[in-house]
Chain A
Amino acid sequence: MHIVVCVKQVPDTKIIKINPKTNTLDRRSAPAILNPYDAHAVQEAVKIKKAIGRGTISVLSMGPPQAVAVIKKSIEIGADRGFLISDRAFAGADTLATSYALSKALERISKDMPVDLIICGKHAIDGDTGQVGPGIARRLDIPPVTNVIEVSELNESEKTILIKRKITDGYELIQAQVPCLLTVEKEINSIEYSPMPNMMKAAKYEPIIWSVNDLEDVDRTQLGLKGSPTIVGKMFTPPKPEGGKRLEGNADKQIEQLMELLNDKKELFVSR
């Protein structure tokens, strides 16, 4: 069983700052982390490998050289090995160009060791799109199953996998043929403490780094900025809502006014 997890390095949007003058991201303000959903994706691969009792977990990332950090982090969680594709030709990619580049790397990886399962995060917290996973699945012509909350059974001989997929008001139980691609929600598992040997392995680990020349049959017009149909037209601060009115006086006065206002709006309380 060979599982490949796609992991992305992202700025921590919880503490991100925007330069109000230029409307751009102040990169120095935001430490780079492993996309939280991808951490759960790696953890799920570890879980599956443990359940089966054998297998290989590879992680794959596209990004600048410092993205090695998220591969090391994945090794800590329990991945066996990592690949980074890093090249100026990949820079400025939108989701379409990203899924193209990653699928080319996946083709190269599977040449040496056929891939049974690909796991991605539900979305990356910087782009927030969730489009790369299904995009990769299409390019490799394998079925995607998004929003996965549980992998309940993997039948190696039948080559099928049983998955719970979150939908708006519940879940679906889906049976898919392997190979397939899953994108996972956070609730699929909780990140376990990394065992000491993993930490030690990660500290020394050096992933395989490929440039565009290491990939085969690449159509360069589909890479990076050139291969990206979408562009950012403009950035702006969200329109300010109209300023609201204030109620005046002490607490009792204000409550009195509010009760009057609500009495006028009584019809709003009635069910649609």
Chain B
Amino acid sequence: MMDEYRGVWVFIEQNDGKIEGVSLELLGAGRKLANKLEVPLSGVLLGYEIKQLSQEVISYGADQVYVIDHEVMKDYRTESYMKAVINLAEKYKPEIFLYGATSNGKDLASAVATDLSTGLTADTTILDVELDKRLLEASRPAFGGNIMATILCKKHRPQMATVRPKVMKALEPDPDRQGKVIEERMTLKEEDMRTKVIKIVKDVTKKVNLADAHVVVAGGKGMGDLQNFQMIHELADTIGATVGGTRDVVEAGWLPHEQQVGQTGETITPKIYFAIGISGAIQHVVGMKNSEFIIAINKDPNAPIFDVATYGIVGDALEIVPKLIKEFKEARERGGEMSYV
């Protein structure tokens, strides 16, 4: 009875009334799939006092939004969110259902897939459909990122996938876009819940926010030692950038883990990305290749980072970086025409 299942769904993750970026990206990716399959694209929006976000979901490409606005749904909890999503999916039968690969998205999707007895592909980075059989082709890095695998779910519906943040592109929002808002009821009661969110503590001490940085200066093992690595910080300070690094650098203790770029770190899309003394291993590259303008400095002309870089400089970083810092400082002193910060 797989033909009963039609339509593409995106789980809209919101925190404190703000929609997560990955959900908007998924609306962009979902729009393409829905167009190919000639079916509507729907958002699934859960929370408390969040109804008004429906228009934003529509403006980013959805045709309709299923909304459950209920006090029990105030904070994310597997129990309540899962029940709501399972009810919706059983009632309206989507053929494809996408979630952001965030803590909550993965948690929710895993529970939902179990109850719906369907397949779930984790951490997808490429999405497509095969029209003939209406099959979702969800591709993801496998075996530590050395290779890509396309995962299919042929006999079960919905076909579900979690998708890594910052890989898909959101559409330009169109505030005039029209869509349908479908409000659903919810019978869950707080007394029936076996988990309680006592409090949510935001980490305000975390100064570095790689994900939002528009210029990133990243350093690799090629900087040699911790002392030389300070050049990376100095360059970043000079141009008002955020510092990132490779896993090897993090393991050496030159940077905290939250500043690691790549498969097991952050995936980022800054406007400018400096890759200095970085070889360009696939696990690093997946985390930064969608940056707008990439400059690589490496003394090995065959380093794979040059394949991704918009412009590459073959040379010794220990010689080039200090010169760059000097140039930028001078440029800033000249003022006006080249003040970067």
Contacts and interface: CB of A to CB of B under 8 A. Distances in A.
Contacts of A143: 78-79, 194-195
B256 to A, nearest CB: 12
Nearest to B331: A259
Given A177-B194, A251-B319, A265 B272 contact: yes
Nearest to B196: A175
Contacts, number: 240
Contact of B151 (A134, A145, A231): A231
A9 to B, nearest CB: 15
Nearest to B115: A138
A170 B150 contact: no
B122 A245 contact: no
Interface stretch (A46-54, A74-82, A92-100, A196-204): A92-100
A169 to B, nearest CB: 6
A266 B195 CA distance: 50
A236 B146 CA distance: 10
B138 to A, nearest CB: 9
B226 interface: no
B188 interface: no
Nearest to A259: B327
Given A16-B146, A134-B78, A167-B104, A174 B195 contact: yes
Interface string B63-91: 00000000000010011001000000000
A131 B110 contact: yes
Name the residue in A134, A166, A228 with the highest tally of chain B Cβ atoms < 10 Å from its Cβ. Answer: A134
A168 B199 CA distance: 15
B14 interface: no
Contacts of B155: 229
Interface in A1-55: 11, 13-14, 16-18, 23, 25
B314 interface: yes
Interface in B164-202: 194-202
B122 A128 contact: yes
A174 B198 contact: yes
B146 A244 contact: no
Interface in A194-230: 228-230
Interface string A233-272: 1111110111111110001101100110111011011111
A113 interface: no
A232 B149 CA distance: 6
B144 interface: yes
B308 interface: yes
B243 interface: no
B288 to A, nearest CB: 11
Interface residues of A, number: 81
Given A134-B114, A175-B198, A245 B310 contact: yes
A88 interface: no
B294 A244 contact: yes
A122 to B, nearest CB: 9
A245 B143 contact: no
A86 interface: no
A96 B311 contact: no
Contacts of A252: 323
A268 B293 contact: yes
B114 A138 contact: yes
B111 A134 contact: yes
A235 B149 CA distance: 4
B312 interface: yes
A180 to B, nearest CB: 7
A137 interface: yes
A70 to B, nearest CB: 19
A264 B249 CA distance: 31
A241 B289 contact: yes
B207 interface: no
Nearest to B272: A268
A99 B111 CA distance: 11
Contact of A13 (B104, B143, B152): B143
A233 B151 contact: yes
Given A144-B111, A244-B311, A175 B271 contact: no
A193 B299 CA distance: 41
19 contacts: A95-B120, A129-B122, A134-B110, A135-B113, A145-B78, A145-B195, A146-B103, A147-B107, A167-B103, A167-B200, A172-B199, A172-B200, A173-B198, A173-B201, A177-B194, A230-B153, A231-B153, A244-B294, A268-B215
The 4 A-B residue pairs whose C-beta atoms are closest, nearest first, are A13-B144, A229-B119, A134-B110, A230-B119
Given A18-B147, A269-B240, A269-B341, 7 more contacts: A16-B143, A128-B122, A128-B123, A135-B111, A146-B103, A174-B196, A229-B119
Interface of B: 15, 75, 78-79, 82, 102-104, 106-107, 109-111, 113-115, 117-123, 137, 139, 141-144, 146-156, 194-203, 206, 214-215, 239-240, 271-272, 282, 285-286, 289, 292-296, 306-316, 319-320, 323-324, 327, 331, 337-338, 340-341
